[in-house]
Amino acid sequence: MKIELNIDTDELASEIAQEVAGAIVPILTKHVIEDDNIFTVETLAKYLQVSKQWVYERVHLKEIPYTKMGKFPRFRKGEVDIWLDGMKTPAMQPLSKPLKAIK
């Protein structure tokens, strides 16, 4: 059995690409805007739910990514989020055998 379709494949591909682009651009734009936020020490401390002193210690030890604006450290949200991801503790593997209860 042979089916013939009279469809311009270039036009169809173009329409599909436009639909996909229309759906994905708002998602990508939102992500870029969120990652472009710049934090001060105070706003970063609030975001991370830690003290300002803790943030200053991380800066002094060069443990957290930051940019200096004069004498003031500034932090990009996207870079901080990547730094946080690198600090994750991996989940434990499931137990191979069930634990035995001690009686």
Closest alpha carbon to 39 in 67, 77, 65, 69 = 77
* Confidence at residue 5, expressed as pLDDT on a 0 to 100 scale: 63
What CATH number did the domain enclosing 34 receive?
A: 1.10.1660
* Confidence at residue 22, expressed as pLDDT on a 0 to 100 scale: 82
How many C-alpha atoms does 75 have within 13 Å on its Cβ side?
Answer: 25
Our count of domains for the chain comes to 1
**H-assigned helices in the chain:** 9-35, 41-48, 52-60, 77-86
The DSSP annotation for 17-28 comes to HHHHHHHHHHHH
**Within-domain flag for 90:** no
**Within-domain flag for 49:** yes
Residues 45 and 39: their CA atoms lie apart, in Å, by: 9
**Within-domain flag for 70:** yes
* Confidence at residue 93, expressed as pLDDT on a 0 to 100 scale: 75
DSSP secondary structure letter of residue 79: H
**Within-domain flag for 89:** no
Name the residue type at position 43: T
Domain enclosing residue 45, as ranges: 13-84
pLDDT by residue for the chain (103 residues), tens digit each?
676 666 677 887 888 888 888 888 777 666 555 567 999 999 999 999 999 999 999 999 999 999 999 999 999 999 999 999 998 888 777 777 777 778 7
Residues 101 and 86: their CA atoms lie apart, in Å, by: 36
